[in-house]
Copies of this chain bind each other. A is one copy, B any other.
Amino acid sequence: MMKNDCRLLKACRGEEVDCTPVWFMRQAGRYMQEYRKLREKYTLVEICTNPELAKEVTLQPIRRFDLDAAIIFSDILLPLTSMGVSFEFAQGEGPVIHRPVRSPEDAEKLHLGDPEKDLAFVFEAIRLVRTELDPKIALIGFAGAPFTIASYVIEGGYSRNFLHTKLLMYTYPDAWRRLMETICEVMTRYLAGQIEAGAQAIQLFDSWVGCLEPEDYRRCVMPYSRKIFERLKEHSIPLIHFGTGTATLLELMKEAGGTVIGVDWRISLKEAWHRLGNETPLQGNLDPVALLAPRNYLEEKVDQVLEQGDGHPGHIFNLGHGILPQTPTENVEAVVQWVHAKTKR
Contacts and interface: CB of A to CB of B under 8 A. Distances in A.
Contacts of A292: 163, 167
Interface string A263-305: 0011110010000000000000001111011100100000010
A245 B170 contact: no
Interface in A7-49: none
Contacts of A161: 288-289, 321, 324
B166 A287 contact: yes
B166 A215 contact: no
Interface in A171-215: 171, 210-215
Given A170-B293, A170-B297, A324 B163 contact: yes
Given A161-B289, A163-B324, A326-B163, A268 B170 contact: no
Interface residues of A, number: 35
Interface string A144-179: 000000000000001011110011001100000000
A110 interface: no
Contacts of A324: 161, 163
Interface of A: 158, 160-163, 166-167, 170-171, 210-215, 245, 247-248, 265-268, 271, 287-290, 292-294, 297, 304, 321, 324, 326
Given A166-B289, A170-B294, A210-B266, 4 more contacts: A163-B289, A170-B297, A213-B287, A247-B266
13 contacts: A161-B288, A162-B289, A166-B287, A166-B289, A171-B294, A211-B266, A213-B266, A213-B287, A214-B267, A214-B268, A215-B268, A215-B304, A245-B266
